[in-house]
Amino acid sequence: MQTAKFARKAAGFFVCFIVAFMVSHYGMPLYPLTAWLVEHSHQIFSSYQDDVYEAGTDPVTFFSLMTVIAFYALALY
């Protein structure tokens, strides 16, 4: 019974995560805020990278984007 509740809650959060991801794409309502947060976190944390990456493909950008989208999903949930 507890596993079913957990699975239902996890599925609900996953749906919220997908919706938050869709709403934060280019041209959508949350894109300017998302781009601003990702850019600022990249400016702060990019100095800790020891390797050179292509623009937008570095781990700092990826993890900051996933963090922002998870925060949006948490707000939706």
* Cβ atoms of 77 and 16 closer than 8 Å: yes
Structure tokens at 19: 């919706």
Distance between CA 14 and CA 76 in Å, rounded?
11
Nearest to 69 by CA among 41, 35, 34: 34
Query: The pTM is what?
Result: 0.74
pLDDT at 11: 92
Q: Is 20 exposed, middle or buried (0-12, 13-18, 19+ CB in 10 A)?
A: buried
pLDDT of residue 56: 64
pLDDT digits (tens, 9 = 90+) for 21-65: 888 877 777 788 888 888 888 888 777 777 777 766 777 788 888
